[in-house]
Structure 1
């Protein structure tokens, strides 16, 4: 098949199977990093732009302004090229430098928020304030506001259709990270329609306030809701069966473990999802065909999540997590550190 534009590459991502032999379960990783912008956010970014154009809120030749940690912004930058729009990304110091470089390569304008913030503090409130202010001042501009944009969740219906087709219909659980709530809501609603008994496990960083726990700074990027911000209106709690937290060390050590043992580079938030999926499989809470999204790739975090010196300086190295993963994956007796053989579904 010969495609005509880059956004035609969005979707139809493969699934990689990670067997969990002791529990007769399969952790099925949908490789969303294969989207052209390198993340699952490409799906909803294009959907939000199309919805805004159809409604007339965004005019041809107009300007999109959005607050983002990077992945949504990359998806919007690609879509802006397709529709001949100007795009301004409002970011903070928490955005990975590799993501910023991609945005600039795509011709997006990048605006950093001003102010003094801790290194592990996500300045979402200030980002959103600045994005709204810019959109109000620039003729023909709109603030896309992914957290409260209903078209955010609507961008994931194709994900659900693809998974059902790839797995042959049997889906027992979904484990995903929750940030703005768009991917969690869109995917969970779709899977619940297909199988009301499917268990949905939503993972946020330790320090996020999505499920009512005390807020404090964290390093995981593009996921969770930091203290001082409000949970996005797009998040539908009714489709979530269990909300759990994962520490930065658990998330990052798992991402590093997966890279070393399988050759697959996944982002930090995906590391957290894999850690919690394995934990709850072994607790007996979920089992069978468990779907998890590789929301983005580790290629964007080579200087952070995959830098041993960066982790050591922040006290995020914890070898015991690798030992735990060995046990969960049936590797504690192995002579060589190896994961179960992967297969593509």
Structure 2
């Protein structure tokens, strides 16, 4: 089939199955980095723009304004091109430079928040304030406000449908990162409708306040809710069975481990979800087919997560994580599994 719009490339992402030795579990990695903007956020970004246009809140030729650490911004920049809109991305120093470069390449107007912030401090509150202010000042502008936008969670219905088909309807658990709560809520709700017994696990960075833990700075990008911010209205706690935290070192070292052993580049937050999924499998909390989305690719973090010097300067290197992953997966697991367990399926 020959497609006519880049947005038609969104979805139908492949799934990679990895059997976990010594357990009855299998990780099902849904490769969302294969979306045209490189992340799972392509789905919700287009859905938010479509909903705003359909309701009349956003007019043809209008301006979309959003606070973003990068992936949602890339998705909105793509949607703006398709629908003939302008896009203003409000970012802070925490956004990966490669993500900002992609948004610029797609024609986005990048606005940095003012003020002095620590390198590991996410300026979400100021980003939100500035985005709302710009939307009020600019004629025809609409602040998407993904944290409180119902169309955020509504953008993941196809993800759920595809996942159920690929897993042949048999899913034991879903493990995903939680930031604004849109993907976690939309996917967890949909999977629970398919089977209420599916265990849903939300992973936030250590230092995030989503599940009531003390807030402090963290380096994981595009996930969690930092201290001083409020949890988005889109997050529905009732569809989440378990909320857990993962440290920056656990998340980043897992991303690096997956690259070295599976030749798959995944982002830092995805490394965190894989680490916690494996931990919970070995604790006997999760079993069967455990779905984990590859929310975005490691290509956007080559100068951070995959840079030894960057990690060392921030005391984020921890060889103990790789040792733990070896224990969970077996040192020879990857070589042994190359001839049998790994399997690729496309909806």
Instruction: Provide the TM-score with structure 2 as the length reference.
Output: 0.97
Residue pairs, 1:1-345, within 5 angstroms = 1-331=1-331, 334=332, 338=335, 340-341=337-338, 342-345=342-345
Tell me if the contact between 1:146 and 1:180 (Cα under 8 Å) persists in the aligned partners. Answer: yes
Tell me if the contact between 1:216 and 1:226 (Cα under 8 Å) persists in the aligned partners. Answer: yes
Distance in 2 (alpha carbons) for counterparts of 1:51 and 1:177: 24
Distance in 2 (alpha carbons) for counterparts of 1:337 and 1:276: 19
Partner SS, residue 244 of structure 1: strand
Distance in 2 (alpha carbons) for counterparts of 1:340 and 1:315: 33
Distance in 1 (alpha carbons) for counterparts of 2:194 and 2:286: 17
Partner SS, residue 23 of structure 1: coil
Tell me if the contact between 2:208 and 2:214 (Cα under 8 Å) persists in the aligned partners. Answer: yes
How far 1:112 moved relative to its partner? 0.3
Tell me if the contact between 2:67 and 2:131 (Cα under 8 Å) persists in the aligned partners. Answer: yes
How far 1:24 moved relative to its partner? 1.9
Tell me if the contact between 2:262 and 2:334 (Cα under 8 Å) persists in the aligned partners. Answer: no
Distance in 1 (alpha carbons) for counterparts of 2:287 and 2:259: 24
Partner SS, residue 201 of structure 1: strand
Tell me if the contact between 1:261 and 1:339 (Cα under 8 Å) persists in the aligned partners. Answer: no
CA 1:261–1:339: 2 relative to 1, 3 Å: farther
Partner SS, residue 249 of structure 1: helix
CA 1:339–1:44: 2 relative to 1, 3 Å: farther
Partner SS, residue 22 of structure 2: helix
Partner SS, residue 223 of structure 2: coil
Distance in 2 (alpha carbons) for counterparts of 1:128 and 1:339: 49
322-331 vs 50-59, which moves further = 322-331
Tell me if the contact between 1:174 and 1:201 (Cα under 8 Å) persists in the aligned partners. Answer: yes
How far 1:340 moved relative to its partner? 3.6
- Unaligned runs of 5+ residues in structure 2 are none
Would you say how many aligned residue pairs link Structure 1 and Structure 2?
Answer: 342
Tell me if the contact between 2:203 and 2:273 (Cα under 8 Å) persists in the aligned partners. Answer: yes
How far 1:19 moved relative to its partner? 1.0
CA 1:337–1:183: 2 relative to 1, 3 Å: closer
Partner SS, residue 22 of structure 1: coil
Deviation per CA, 1:310-345: give whole Å up to 9, x if none: 0000000000100100111122xx3x9758433213
Tell me if the contact between 2:177 and 2:269 (Cα under 8 Å) persists in the aligned partners. Answer: yes
Partner SS, residue 21 of structure 1: coil
Distance in 1 (alpha carbons) for counterparts of 2:336 and 2:38: 25
Deviation per CA, 1:99-129: give whole Å up to 9, x if none: 0110110000000000000000000000000
Structural RMSD (CA): 1.0
How far 1:162 moved relative to its partner? 0.2
212-221 vs 12-21, which moves further = 12-21
Tell me if the contact between 2:156 and 2:186 (Cα under 8 Å) persists in the aligned partners. Answer: yes
Deviation per CA, 1:18-41: give whole Å up to 9, x if none: 110211210000000000000000
